[in-house]
Amino acid sequence: MKVSIDAERCQGHGRCFSLAPSLFDADDLGNGFVLGDGTLSAESLELARLAELNCPEHAISIEE
């Protein structure tokens, strides 16, 4: 499974990297991006889902 952020939808609220700093970070403008290639382990999948549910713009997606 992989997580991604749609850069066009992200408004930089920072919930993703606040909730899951091991998966996400912020660029110079405060917009979130995925660390690494987005591949999720069993442990990180739960954090990714939490971030996905808390994104106000629904910019985070998880794909199999």
The amino acid that residue 17 corresponds to is: F
Q: How confident is the model at residue 21 (pLDDT cuts 50, 70, 90)?
A: very high
Q: What is the pLDDT of residue 54?
A: 98
Q: How confident is the model at residue 13 (pLDDT cuts 50, 70, 90)?
A: very high
Alpha-carbon distance of 11 to 30, in angstroms, equals: 8
Q: How confident is the model at residue 46 (pLDDT cuts 50, 70, 90)?
A: very high
All domains of the chain in start order, with CATH: 2-63 (3.30.70.20)
Q: Which of 40, 6, 7, 2 minimizes the C-alpha distance to 22? A: 40
Q: Dig out the tokens for 1 from the structure.
A: 């499974």
Alpha-carbon distance of 31 to 18, in angstroms, equals: 12
Alpha-carbon distance of 51 to 38, in angstroms, equals: 13
